[in-house]
Amino acid sequence: MMLEPVATLLLSMLSIPGMALIAGALAVPLLPTSARNAFMLALIAFSGWTVWQIAPDASLTARLAGIELTLLRVEAITKPFALVFHIAAALNVIYSMHEKARLTATAGLAYAGAAIAALFAGDFLTLFIYWELTTFASVFLVLAGNTPRATRAAMRYLLMQVASGVILLAGAVLLWRSGAGFAITALDATTPAGFCILLALGIKAGFPLLGGWLQDAYPEASPAGSVMLSAFTTKLAIYMLVICFAGFKPLIYIGLAMAIISLFAAMIENNLRRVLAIALVNQLGIMVVGIGIGSELAINGVTAHAFASVLYKGLLFMSMGAVFFRTGTDRADALGGLARHMPWTAGFCLIGALSIASMPLFSGFTTKALTLGAVAKQGELWVWLGLLFASVGVVLHTALRLPYAAFFATNPKIKAEEAPLNMRVAMGLAAGGCLVIGLYPSALYALLPYAVSYKVWDVGHVLGEVQLLVFVALIFALMVRRGLYPLSGADMVIYTDWIGRYALPRLIIGIGAPLMRLWNGAKDGFVALVLRLLRTGEEASRATGLASGVASTGAAAGIFLALFALILLIRIVI
């Protein structure tokens, strides 16, 4: 009788999008490779179908220890995020089909499932559970890099992600104590609860100084792992920021800092997958600016941009992953000339590059334009100029430098095979997505939370964008021709990951080493003191035969007995 409600709850929980993926991930290690991929794609299709037909007022609640949990709730922006997460999950499965590793497949599916289910969480406790599940599933993707460096990066990644989870939980508890309950709603970032939650989201969204884990861990993962990582964690944080902090003005400047500071590091870094990770922060920065603006057009912009960027960023990570898979390196100075050997990968990479560059007819143009338009409509000239400046940076370091370094720079010695078929199919589908959004943006606009009245195909707007792009490309070509490329002989850059990889360990050792010396000194002193006391006692007992020594057992028992009797006496008298 008691089991019936539990069974009903379990069954209804399967109606939560993403839950089928989490449950199914448990079965993945048991399946043979051939069945595994079909099984995972079927699960994703089922879960995606539940999102497609979900009612806007769908809800599922449960009571646990007197607390009402909202396991399912649909916001206006939930559907587009959930759909693109499903697309990314499916592309990831196709992209990693050639891999035999069960762990990556299991972790990847659970990670995607947890991220999708988190979108539908209606309270912070439910969110916390999925938040932690994304952490623990995704750390295996970093570990799958299978190098000592990847292991260390994975531990740092875990530390930061768990810190984000703990701060989120602290914020949730503070919120509950303030009498607001656990519900996920718009929050005031100036209250302690709001601040904690903003900080937790900020770690995952790559806020300045908090996002070092991103460029630390993502490039160390396996090729398929970094593609999976690029889609979910950061976009989940963006989604939560939209729900909780839309219109919080300081986000405009936080976002601008993210978008601009990352430019210079991405221009010099030699590891191309790290360039992509740093450039990811730049894209997130533009979204955070949009959240800070908070108007309907801006939120549409953030949602559309997040949707498009999951595809083009994923596509770029896929192409660099394919390069790494075939050549064993992702270092710019060791690559070049691959266009001849991997023409398909090069072509798909260019589509990703044109998309991120906001070239008209590609997905960046039809999505990022909404955020820029929202900033312009608010009359924020300096913010608008800042975003335009950041866009020029993206064109330089991702759209031009990345394909040039991998595929077109002179490297007569390089030899590589074209990417495996499954990788090409995944890249082709992602590239197709970029083109569909670029050519028929109305299909994506229909999914957005508010009606879109913005005229994206304004002729003057198209002309301005094209002018910007061709002149930036001209400057880049001039730079290459003048022999200024590569910009530096440095192999890597120290960026915000420096805090976790260099400063903190040294700070801890710097403070810890003297403390350890002090502790060791005190411990040795104490032991010496005890030994001396024992020796003194021994000598005394030899003299008196009372407190210690061979003859002491009877004497000690006598003393304790006397004390016990005294205590009893006191107790009786009082």
Candidates 165, 304, 270; CA nearest to 283 is 304
Nearest distance, CB of residue 488 and other proteins, angstroms? 3
Q: Any contact of residue 472 with other proteins (CB under 8 A)?
A: yes
Residues 361-380 that bind other proteins (CB under 8 A): 376-377, 379
Candidate ranges 4-12, 165-173, 264-272, 417-425; the one touching other proteins (CB under 8 A) = 264-272
Q: Any contact of residue 483 with other proteins (CB under 8 A)?
A: no
Buried b (16+ CB within 10 A) or exposed e, 308-346: bbbbbbbbbbbbbbbbbbbbeebbbeebbbbbebbebbb
Kindly state the number of chain residues that form the binding site for other proteins, as judged by CB under 8 A: 61
Which x/- pattern, by CB under 8 A, does the window 428-467 give for other proteins? ------------------------------xxxx-xxxxx
Cβ proximity to other proteins: between 56 and 379 the closer is 379
According to DSSP, the residues that pair with 183 across neighbouring strands are 123
Cβ proximity to other proteins: between 385 and 508 the closer is 385
Q: Any contact of residue 148 with other proteins (CB under 8 A)?
A: yes
Asked if 47 and 109 count as a contact pair (C-beta separation under 8 A), the reply is: no
Cβ proximity to other proteins: between 458 and 524 the closer is 458
Asked if 346 and 403 count as a contact pair (C-beta separation under 8 A), the reply is: yes
Residues 492-521 that bind other proteins (CB under 8 A): 492-495, 501-502
Please pick, from the candidates 46, 136, 195, 264, the single residue that binds other proteins as defined by CB under 8 A. Answer: 264
Nearest distance, CB of residue 193 and other proteins, angstroms? 36
Candidate ranges 37-45, 53-61, 193-201, 325-333; the one touching other proteins (CB under 8 A) = 325-333
Please pick, from the candidates 268, 281, 405, 414, the single residue that binds other proteins as defined by CB under 8 A. Answer: 268
Asked if 73 and 122 count as a contact pair (C-beta separation under 8 A), the reply is: yes
Distance CA 391, CA 388 (A): 5
Candidate ranges 108-116, 277-285, 384-392, 546-554; the one touching other proteins (CB under 8 A) = 384-392
How far does Cα 112 stand from its chain's mean position? Answer: 12
Q: Which letter does DSSP use for residue 331 in this model?
A: B
Nearest distance, CB of residue 52 and other proteins, angstroms? 37
Distance CA 291, CA 187 (A): 13
Largest CA distance in the chain: 108
Nearest distance, CB of residue 331 and other proteins, angstroms? 6
- In this structure, the chain runs to a length of 574
Please pick, from the candidates 129, 173, 425, 479, the single residue that binds other proteins as defined by CB under 8 A. Answer: 479
Candidates 105, 126, 208, 215; CA nearest to 172 is 126
Nearest distance, CB of residue 405 and other proteins, angstroms? 14
Please pick, from the candidates 66, 412, 543, 572, the single residue that binds other proteins as defined by CB under 8 A. Answer: 412
503, two tokens: 């400063």
Cβ proximity to other proteins: between 436 and 456 the closer is 456
Candidate ranges 179-187, 298-306, 307-315, 474-482; the one touching other proteins (CB under 8 A) = 474-482
SS (HEC) of 383-451: HHHHHHHHHHHHHHHHHHHHHHHHHHCCCCCCCCCCCCHHHHHHHHHHHHHHHHHHHCHHHHHCCCCCC
Distance CA 471, CA 509 (A): 50
Asked if 97 and 86 count as a contact pair (C-beta separation under 8 A), the reply is: no
Distance CA 390, CA 385 (A): 9
Distance CA 361, CA 354 (A): 9
Which SS3 state, helix, strand or coil, does residue 247 take? coil
Distance CA 365, CA 444 (A): 13
According to DSSP, the residues that pair with 61 across neighbouring strands are 70
Nearest distance, CB of residue 363 and other proteins, angstroms? 20
Cβ proximity to other proteins: between 274 and 424 the closer is 274
Residues 521-560 that bind other proteins (CB under 8 A): none
Please pick, from the candidates 267, 499, 540, 546, the single residue that binds other proteins as defined by CB under 8 A. Answer: 267
Candidate ranges 309-317, 359-367, 485-493, 513-521; the one touching other proteins (CB under 8 A) = 485-493
Please pick, from the candidates 26, 45, 490, 561, the single residue that binds other proteins as defined by CB under 8 A. Answer: 490
Give the CA count within 13 Å in the CB-facing half-sphere of 432. Answer: 8
Candidate ranges 93-101, 165-173, 393-401, 547-555; the one touching other proteins (CB under 8 A) = 393-401
Please pick, from the candidates 30, 474, 528, 561, the single residue that binds other proteins as defined by CB under 8 A. Answer: 474
Nearest distance, CB of residue 501 and other proteins, angstroms? 5
Cβ proximity to other proteins: between 73 and 501 the closer is 501
Q: How many Cβ atoms sit within 10 Å of the Cβ of residue 305? A: 25
Residues 158-217 that bind other proteins (CB under 8 A): none
Taking the CA atoms of residue 264, residue 269, residue 272 and residue 275 in that order, the dihedral angle to the nearest 10 degrees is -30
Please pick, from the candidates 388, 425, 499, 546, the single residue that binds other proteins as defined by CB under 8 A. Answer: 388
Sites of contact with other proteins (CB under 8 A) = 147-149, 263-265, 267-268, 271, 329-331, 376-377, 379, 381, 384-385, 388-389, 392-393, 395-396, 410, 412, 458-461, 463-481, 484, 487-495, 501-502
